[in-house]
Amino acid sequence: MGNTCRSGKQEEDEEEEKEGEEEEKEEGKKMKKKDKKKKKKKKKKKTKKKRRIRRRRKKEEG
C-alpha cells in the first residue's frame, strides 16, 4: 500500500511539472508576440521640439 501512494504522488508531480513547462512555453510565445508588436511601433516625430527651437530663434531675432 505504501508504494502505491508514493507512485501516485510521483505521477502527480510529473503532471504538474509538464503543466508548468507548457505554461512557460505559452508565456514565451506571448513574449515573442509582444516583441514583434514593439518593432512595428512608429517613431515619434520631433516636431514639438523643432517648433520650440524655431520660436526661440524668432524671439531672439525679433
Q: Phi/psi of residue 26, each to 5°?
A: -65, -40
Residue written as grid cell 505559452: 26
Q: How confident is the model at residue 54 (pLDDT cuts 50, 70, 90)?
A: very high
> How many structural domains are present in the chain?
1
Residue written as grid cell 516625430: 45
The proportion of the chain whose per-residue pLDDT surpasses 70, expressed as a percent, equals 53
Half-sphere exposure for 42 (CA within 13 Å, toward CB): 3
SS3 call for 45: coil
Average pLDDT in the chain: 72
Supply the range of the domain harboring residue 19. 2-61
The alpha carbon of 15 is separated from its chain's Cα centroid by a whole number of angstroms, namely 27
pLDDT digits (tens, 9 = 90+) for 26-42: 766 666 666 666 667 77
